[in-house]
């Protein structure tokens, strides 16, 4: 599963959101990967964060509170 969102305030920037299974090897847990690319390169973001799926509900709640 992958989703790309236009990054507001940029000419070509994007936010890419991807589900990655076993990102750190066979014993690692699935994560949501959020990448930011100012150049529009979905597969080569300048910044990224991996959020364990177990933390995703709390992160979504915190983001909604900020909004």
Do residues 19 and 32 make contact, with C-beta atoms less than 8 angstroms apart?
Answer: yes
Task: Round to whole Å and give the CA distance between 36 and 41.
Answer: 9
Round to whole Å and give the CA distance between 50 and 33. Answer: 5
How many other C-beta atoms are found inside a 10 Å radius of the C-beta of residue 57? Answer: 9
Asked if the model's pLDDT at residue 60 lies above 80, the reply is yes
Q: So what's the pLDDT on residue 32?
A: 97
The pLDDT assigned to 11 comes to 95
Instruction: Give this prediction's pTM.
Output: 0.87
Domain boundaries, the chain: 2-66
What is the mean predicted confidence (pLDDT) over 45-60? Answer: 97
| 1-47 tens-digit pLDDT | 789 999 999 999 999 999 999 999 999 999 999 999 999 998 899 99
């Amino acid at each position: 599963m992958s989703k790309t969102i236009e990054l507001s305030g940029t000419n070509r920037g994007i936010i890419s959101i991807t589900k990655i299974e076993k990102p750190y090897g066979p014993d690692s847990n699935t994560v949501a990967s959020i990448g930011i690319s100012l150049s529009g390169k979905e597969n080569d973001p300048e910044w990224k964060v991996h959020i364990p799926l177990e933390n995703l509900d709390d992160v979504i709640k915190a983001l909604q509170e900020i909004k």
